[in-house]
Amino acid sequence: MFDIVVIGAGITGSFTASLLAKLGYRVCVLDKQVAGHKTSCTGIVSKECLELLQANPAVIQQEAHSARIFSPSGSFIRVDRESPQAYVLDRPGLDSFMAARAQSCGAEYRPHTLVKSIDLHDNYITAVCRHARQDYEMQAGAVVIATGFGSNLTEQLGLGRINHYAHGAQAEVTCRGIDETEVYCGSAVAPGFFAWLVPVGKSQAKAGLLCRNNPREYMSSLLKKLADEGKIVRDDYPVNYGNIPLKTLGKTYGKRFVVIGDAAGQAKPTTGGGIYFGLLSASEAVDVLDASFKAGDLSARRLFRYQQRWQKILREELTIGYWAHRFYQKLDDRQICHIFDVIERHGIHESFLTSPDITFDWHGKIIIEAIKHRSLQRSLAGFNRGMLARIRQGGRPK
């Protein structure tokens, strides 16, 4: 019998397994695939996130100092800082590294093991697993659900499912003359979201997008557009798909279990980045589980502390981000172009770049600053007052 079973050998599962194994818990990580299979992620993280990961520098593919953000009309705003603003990581390589580290800390890994269901008992949990066409049961003191977006385990445990999400698509492409990240906005490329071309090295890049529906069609148009513009050499690269939660689960804990990462919906609704917030929440989960094991109390009441703790860190940020995303979704191309125009004309992006409030991970403050900015406030006023008020309200109770 293990102390803790972690379901999912993705980034949050392996990070959690390492921390728990280091604390001396007997940990088993189960994954229906093998750690390092995830190819639908760009792997862009901040310096803070990189430090938290303590990953092998070999997984860093590129430092990002600057980006060009294109409006629907094709004009762009360039943001540039001297120091690197983000790092592009080899996501499969990172996941393999994190799994190897957790194993070196003592965690046991069982790949190709699908967890079909979880039964909660007074003194233990049972995970019903399927491996090599055989079903078997595993017991442990507690379970961490790190299954990524869309697993039915949360629903089985009575936590429901996240219905608000974005479709993501990405391809590894060969590019020409692209030396900084490009972001594309507008209804033709990625309605309600954005698309990207992120260079990783001299001639390689990751091209991808988020959208509400039809990811295959939008991705095929994006690749065609980039090839027509001569930015990438072909338009028929293999594409990987994945979904990103835009809202969190209402409840992320219960008797003898916690839910972390994309399974809990801990991703930024503004950009879809989920690695950093998943890791921050995983750290909180480990602290709470450790204290709960020590107290001999793994009741739902006790594990509620996990939810309180991650929400204290993320709730306001996620709420502002969610409403900012909804606001953006309602804008048409003309309105987006107008906002670009105002930002450019008043040098708003430049003043924000020097602001200490602008960080790669925390967007709440800068969103609030932006909508309060005199020139933007005037332009935005006519758009959608209700939603602007919700953004301003942030996570604060009404």
Decide if 189 contacts 217 (C-beta within 8 A).
no
Q: Are strands 27-30 and 2-7 parallel, antiparallel or unpaired?
A: parallel
Interacting residues with ligand FAD between 284 and 343 (CB under 6 A): none
Q: Which of 171, 178, 223, 275 is the binder for ligand FAD (CB under 6 A)?
A: 275
Q: Which of 90, 182, 262, 284 is the binder for ligand FAD (CB under 6 A)?
A: 262
Q: Taking the complex as a whole, how short is the minimal distance between the CB of residue 146 and ligand FAD, in angstroms? A: 5
Q: Is 386 helix (H, G, I), strand (E, B) or coil?
A: helix
Residue 157 binding ligand FAD, by CB under 6 A: no
Decide if 253 contacts 245 (C-beta within 8 A).
no
Residue recorded with tokens 């608000």: 164
Q: Find the part of the chain contacting ligand FAD (CB under 6 A) among 36-44, 222-230, 296-304, 340-348.
A: 36-44
Site string for ligand FAD, 231-260 (x = CB under 6 A): -----------x-x----------------
**How far is residue 271 from each of residues 67, 209, 280, 338, 362, measured CA to CA in Å?**
14, 10, 17, 21, 11
Q: Find the part of the chain contacting ligand FAD (CB under 6 A) among 26-34, 157-165, 220-228, 368-376.
A: 26-34
Decide if 337 contacts 294 (C-beta within 8 A).
no
Q: Which of 19, 44, 99, 223 is the binder for ligand FAD (CB under 6 A)?
A: 44
Site string for ligand FAD, 57-96 (x = CB under 6 A): ----------------------------------------
Tell me the C-alpha distance between 128 and 108, whole Å.
17
Report DSSP letters for 244-278, one per residue.
Answer: EESS--S--EETTEEE-GGGTT-S-TTT---HHHH
Q: Taking the complex as a whole, how short is the minimal distance between the CB of residue 336 and ligand FAD, in angstroms? A: 21
Tell me the C-alpha distance between 194 and 390, whole Å.
22
Q: Which of 6, 27, 31, 307 is the binder for ligand FAD (CB under 6 A)?
A: 31
Report DSSP letters for 224-248, one per residue.
Answer: HHHHHTTSBS-S---EEEEEEESS-
Residue 324: CB partners within 8 Å, gap ≥ 6? 269, 270, 363, 367, 391
Q: Taking the complex as a whole, how short is the minimal distance between the CB of residue 24 and ligand FAD, in angstroms? A: 23
Q: Find the part of the chain contacting ligand FAD (CB under 6 A) among 17-25, 131-139, 226-234, 261-269.
A: 261-269
Going by C-alpha positions, the residue among 76, 271, 72 that lies closest to residue 188 is 72
Site string for ligand FAD, 160-189 (x = CB under 6 A): --------x-x-------------------
DSSP 175: B
- Nearest CB to ligand FAD, comparing residues 162 and 244: 244
Q: Find the part of the chain contacting ligand FAD (CB under 6 A) among 6-14, 292-300, 313-321, 379-387.
A: 6-14
Tell me the C-alpha distance between 93 and 99, whole Å.
10
Positions that interact with ligand FAD (CB under 6 A)? 7-13, 30-33, 38, 40-45, 114-115, 146-148, 151, 153, 168, 170, 208, 242, 244, 261-263, 267, 272-276, 278
